[in-house]
Amino acid sequence: MHIDLRSDTVTKPSGGMMKAMASAPLGDDVYGEDPTVNALEKRLAIMFNKPKALFFPTGTMANQAAIKLHTQPGEQVICDQYAHIYNYEGGGASFNSGVSCKLIDGHRGMITAEQVTAVINPPDFYHSPLTSLVALENTTNKGGGACWDFKEISKIRSVCDAHHLGLHLDGARLWNALEVTNEKPEQYGAIFDTISVCLSKGLGCPIGSVLVGDEALMEKAIRVRKMLGGGMRQVGVLAAAGLYALDHNRERLSEDHAKAKAIGQVLKSTSYVAKVQPIETNIVIFELDSTVDSAYFIDSLQSKGILLSNMGSGKLRMVTHMDYTDQMHEKLLEILISI
Ligand SMILES: *Cc1c(COP(=O)(O)O)cnc(C)c1O
């Protein structure tokens, strides 16, 4: 049995999703004429109560477009040191937007309003880069799937208002956070200027992200997407997967969360694991006992058909997802106990 827990991006479209894709009405989306893309964008705009939504091939491109919309070259973005936009987008923030990132040493990928305030450069001090954007991530990826305290987000919004800064959310796994906290998408829409959400993580689509935002900012988003090479044609075939996923794959995220918690419990009980980070959603980050070599551990699990990720600095990661079945789960727990 092949058990792939490297990421929640390894899922394959289900039969139902493939059917929805095959029967989607299509048109040329560069002309704005793909009815399925238009339906997906409209659905997300309504869901977040934002005037505009735009379909992107990847979460990276959606985040990169958002950074471009909020900044001018030479300016600075405030984010946590774990942020995906800083660590895992190929240096895109500097390449595409010519901005630097001011990194905050936060807690599991989350920062406080106080920390944000402390690193804003005074706009009249022309020696320093002009601070123009704060970017948050929910759930945090490198932070182990942690969910934000909404009160802290509100405080950061107030800081952004006082200092005329934009506020972007990398919501690649916002669906997981919403499932746990029972918050509503429109609460996020009311706070953030722009939000990117992924359809290809927990929701199980083969591809796709959507950026929602305010009218004035989003007016330029379609041009930025074109510049980044993301103007696509009959992609209703992909948007149909997104619509299907929103209907069928959101509620089941709680199953992924329960399985992740169970994995964490078992890891904690073993002698070879030193530390398991708190598990809130579908990401399990753990550290091995100092006597266990991580490369050896990963190799020996691989020989039993189990794949996981090495996050560096002694941290290993397992991510549960919709293609990780009950049967695989039982088998994994058995193996983790036996080794
Ligand atoms: C996966 C992910 C993205 C987007 O990644 P793509 O692979 O480009 O779709 C953005 N932010 C976070 C936190 C992610 O985990």
Using one digit for the tens of pLDDT, what is the confidence trace for 110-164?
999 999 999 999 999 999 999 999 999 999 999 999 999 999 999 999 999 999 9
Model pTM score:
0.97
Ligand 1 midpoint to CA 84 (Å): 7
As a CATH number, domain 3-9+252-338 is 3.90.1150.10
pLDDT band at 76 (very low <50, low <70, confident <90, very high): very high
Question: How far apart are alpha carbons 303 and 161 in whole angstroms?
Answer: 53
Give the Cα separation of 3 and 329 in Å (integer).
Answer: 9
Give the model's confidence band at 1: pLDDT under 50 very low, under 70 low, under 90 confident, else very high. Answer: confident
58 lines ligand 1 (CB under 6 A): yes
CB 198, CB 172: distance < 8 Å: yes
Tell me what pLDDT residue 313 has: 84
Asked whether 80 lines ligand 1 (CB < 6 A), one says no
Domain locations along the chain: 3-9+252-338, 15-248
User: What average pLDDT does range 61-81 have in this prediction?
Assistant: 98
User: For ligand 1, is residue 79 a contact (CB within 6 Å)?
Assistant: no
Read off the pLDDT of each residue in 60-87 and give the average, rounded to a whole number: 98
CA of 290 to the centre of ligand 1 (A): 31
Question: 15-248: which CATH topology?
Answer: Aspartate Aminotransferase; domain 2 (3.40.640)
Residue 5: its pLDDT value, please? 98
Distance between Cα 235 and ligand 1 center (Å): 20
Quickly count: other Cβ atoms within 10 Å of residue 8's Cβ: 27
Query: Is the shortest distance between the CB of 207 and ligand 1 below 6 Å?
Result: no
Task: Look at residue 276 in the predicted model and tell me its pLDDT.
Answer: 98
- Using the 8-state DSSP alphabet, how is residue 280 labeled? S
Cβ-contact 56, 210 below 8 angstroms = yes
Pocket test for ligand 1, best of 198, 281, 317, 319 (most atoms within 8 A of CB): 198
Q: Are 3-9+252-338 and 15-248 the same fold in CATH? A: no
Q: What is the pLDDT of residue 301?
A: 97
Write the burial class of residue 30 (CB in 10 Å: 0-12 exposed, 13-18 middle, 19+ buried). Answer: middle
- Hey, whose CA ends up nearest to atom 4 of ligand 1? 59
203 lines ligand 1 (CB under 6 A): no
Give per-residue pLDDT as tens, 265-290: 999 999 999 999 999 999 999 999 99
**Mean pLDDT across the stretch 240-244?**
98
Residue located nearest, by CA, to atom 2 of ligand 1: 172
Inform me whether the pLDDT recorded for 314 exceeds 90.
no
Evaluate: CB of 38 within 6 angstroms of ligand 1. no
**Mean pLDDT for the stretch of residues 93-112:** 98
pLDDT of residue 20: 98
Count the Cβ atoms, other than its own, within 10 Å of residue 323: 14
* For ligand 1, mutation pick of 84, 228, 282 (most atoms within 8 Å of CB): 84
Q: Which atom of ligand 1 is nearest to the CA of 137?
A: 13
